[in-house]
Every structure is written in C-alpha cells, then in structure tokens.
Amino acid sequence: MSGLIRHLLSLDDLTTEEITLLIKAAINYKNKMGKDISYKAQGKILGMIFEKPSTRTRISFESAMIKLGGGVCFMTSQSLQLSRGEPICDTARVLSGYLDCLVIRTYAQSIVEEMAKRSSIPIINGLTDLYHPCQAISDVMTVVENFGDDLSKIKIAWIGDGNNVCNSWIQIASKLGFELHIATPCGYEPRHDILENAMKEAKAPIIVCNDPLLAAQGASVINTDVWLSMGEENKEEKKEAFKHFQVNNMLVALAKNDCIVLHCLPAHRGEEITDDVIEGENSRIWEQAENKMYTHMAIIEWLMGL
Ligand code: CP
Ligand code: NVA
C-alpha cells in the first residue's frame, strides 16, 4: 500500500478481505510468539493520544509496537497544547512529521476523522463514543480461534447496551456475514443509521430485539459490555433499564453447550456479567484480552505498510 495512506476509523474503512487477512495475520503472530518475529517496525514510532483511561488498548498497542521492534510515544490530551486550544489540524500536521502512525482514544468520532483528514500518517481509532473497531477485530479473532473461519453457520448474541463496541460488531457482522442478534433495553438500541448501512451489505441477518433470552437462545457466542460506558459515569439511573440484561448462568444455559462468552473488559462483575460466568468454562474473556495485542501487531503492520 505504499503511497496511499489508509486509516482505521471505523470498520467501514476495511473490506471483507482486509478484515479476514488481519485476523489471519493476528493468529499467525499468536502462533509465532516466542519464536522469531522480525523487527519490521525498527526505527518507526507509534504515537498514542488517549483522552480516556485504558488498560488493554494502550498496553497491547505499546507491546505490539515494541515486539515489532518500534518505539512508542504516549500522550494524554492534557499534556499537549490541544488542552490550551491548539487546533486539531495543526496538531495533526506537526505530529505527522514526528510519528509513523497514531492511535487516538477520544470522545467524538469527528475528532479522529478531523485528525485523519489533516494527517499524512495513518490514524487508528482506539475507541470513540461511536466505535471501537480494533476491539471488534480482535473479538472476532477469538471467535475464529474457537469455531474456525467459516462464521456463516453460527449465531452471535450481543446482550446489553447498543454502544460503541456494539456498533463495531454490527459493522463487522455485515462485512463478514455472520448472524448477529442484539438484545438491548428499549431506548438503548444501536443507532438506526449504523444498522441501516450495515444491513444494506449484510449477507446474514442482523436482528435487534429487547429480549435477552431470545437473543441468547442457541447462540454460539454471547458477548456483552458495561452498562455505562466511559463518559456516562453520571447516568446511574440508566442501570435500572438493564437489570434483566445480565449475562449469568441462566442466560448462558440457553445458548449452545459449546458457546463462548466474551466481554471486552473492563467488567463490572455482578452488573452486566456475573463472577461465575467470567470465571466459568465457557468464558474466553482472558484469551480475548490477550488477542488484542496480536491483532494490533497485524493492524500496525498493515497500516504502516511494513
Ligand atoms: N477493551 C478495552 O478497550 O479496554 P481498555 O479500556 O482497558 O483499553
Ligand atoms: N463501551 C465501553 C468499552 C470500553 C472498552 C466504553 O466505551 O467505556
């Protein structure tokens, strides 16, 4: 891809083939761990601007870049002149001269879009209020590890909020052609335009309902996320609407015997998911978290054209 700068702002930036190749490359990196990994990123620098906290995305991107032989420069927006009003367009132009790729975690999707427009290096969305594309790719990697790469026969359930992670799951379901059943409380469904766009391309149904039991029935994957996302900490009353949307043993019993349970973490044990499900035999949550690093190695390699 030399000469052409690509960004990963949402899964709409990738074709089906590209997502499939990234997942294969990530699995390949996982299989090679501890053996020879060439230092493809030697001399390159990955910048990271995070306006929200992060354990997994930050450290897995940092580890991924270091394992590839490159360096990392972590910034909070508070530590940059952005916090004193320097425009995004100027920041983007200046950082493009120092860095080879930039991961941004922020609030509005328009911020990563503006940054991409003004940068001459690839921009990666490390989570916005609207999307979490890298998360969905590594989550699907975990599904592929467990069920193989033909996802056309399996049912995947999303139980909980129609949030940023859910939106990225909608986009990846549409691109890869698997059945996605989303159950949210009334009023917390995913955005209509995101669903509508995804459904135009989808090769398998994407169904939204308000019944978690229906969504979980016969599912091979049960996926969930927090009820209150970052930035919603003051919306405690929202939790009331979600009290029947907990992933517990009763819900998991409705799914297939060999179903796997996913949660992007951080989890609020006892709210959206119970302790015994997190620690239970169907849980693949720890593998899912680890897989973020291999996915990020594949994403860095691809976007930087290494
Ligand atoms: N899953 C995820 O993105 O976790 P962090 O918020 O810790 O990065
Ligand atoms: N929906 C969650 C995901 C965290 C990784 C949030 O935005 O806080």
pLDDT value for 1: 39
Hey, whose CA ends up nearest to atom 3 of ligand 1? 57
Residue 275 and residue 147 share a domain: yes
Same domain, 284 and 294: no
Distance 230 CA to ligand 2 centre (A): 6
Domain housing 70: 11-132+290-303
Nearest residue (CA) to ligand 2, atom 7: 229
Which ligand lies nearest to the CA atom of residue 224 in the structure?
2
pLDDT attached to residue 3? 59
**Does 167 share its domain with 156?**
yes
Q: What is the domain-level CATH number for residue 191?
A: 3.40.50.1370
- The tokens describing 25, both together, are 């490359």
The Å distance, Cα 268 to ligand 1 centre, comes to: 13
So what's the pLDDT on residue 277?
98
Q: Are residues 139 and 229 in the same domain?
A: yes
Chain centroid offset of residue 154 CA? 20
Same domain, 140 and 283: yes
Per-residue confidence (pLDDT) for residue 256, from 0 to 100 = 98
Question: Does one domain contain both 157 and 250?
Answer: yes
Query: How many angstroms does the Cα of residue 59 sit away from the middle of ligand 1?
Result: 9
Does the Cβ of 229 fall within 6 Å of ligand 2?
A: yes
How is residue 211 annotated by DSSP? -
Q: Is 264 in the pocket of ligand 1 (CB under 6 A)?
A: yes
In a shared domain, residues 281 and 268: yes
Q: Is 104 domain-assigned?
A: yes
Ordered per-residue pLDDT tens for the chain, 306 residues? 345 899 999 999 999 999 999 999 999 999 988 777 789 999 999 999 999 999 999 999 999 999 999 999 999 989 999 999 999 989 999 999 999 999 999 999 999 999 999 999 999 999 999 999 999 999 999 999 999 999 999 999 999 999 999 999 999 999 999 999 999 999 999 999 999 999 999 999 999 999 999 999 999 999 999 999 999 999 989 999 999 999 999 999 999 999 999 999 999 999 999 999 999 999 999 999 999 999 999 999 999 999
Please indicate whether residue 73, judged by its CB atom, sits closer than 6 Å to ligand 1: no
**Residue 271 has what pLDDT?**
97
Count other Cβ atoms within 10 Å, centred on residue 109. Answer: 17
Residue among 113, 164, 170 at smallest CA distance from 140 = 170
Nearest CA to ligand 2 atom 3: 229
In a domain, 5, yes or no: no
The total number of structural domains in the chain stands at 2
Kindly state whether residue 4 falls inside one of the protein's structural domains: no
pLDDT value for 77: 87
Any idea which ligand is nearest the CA of 58?
Answer: 1
Strand 101-105 to 123-125 pairing: parallel
Cα(158) to ligand 2 centroid in Å equals 14
Assess whether the C-beta atom of 125 lies below 6 angstroms from ligand 1. no
From CA 131, how far away is CA 110, in angstroms rounded? 11
Distance 196 CA to ligand 1 centre (A): 27
Q: Indicate if 110 and 152 belong to the same structural domain.
A: no
Residue 150 domain flag: yes
Output the pLDDT for position 305. 94
Q: Is 54 in the pocket of ligand 2 (CB under 6 A)?
A: no
Q: Among candidates 34, 278, 59, 10, which has minimal Cα distance to 164?
A: 10
Token pair of 76 as six digits: 């909070």
Inside any domain, residue 1: no
Residue 6 lies in a domain: no
DSSP 91-105: HHHHHHHH-SEEEEE
Within a domain: 89: yes
152 and 74 belong to one structural domain: no
pLDDT in tens, 191-244: 999 999 999 999 999 999 999 999 999 999 999 999 999 999 999 899 999 999
Q: Are residues 144 and 101 in the same domain?
A: no
Residues 147 and 53 in one domain: no
Helix (H, G, I), strand (E, B) or coil at 50: strand
Global pTM reads: 0.97
153 in the same domain as 19: no
The answer as to whether 249 is a domain residue is yes
The residue nearest atom 6 of ligand 1, judged by CA position, is 54
DSSP 48: E
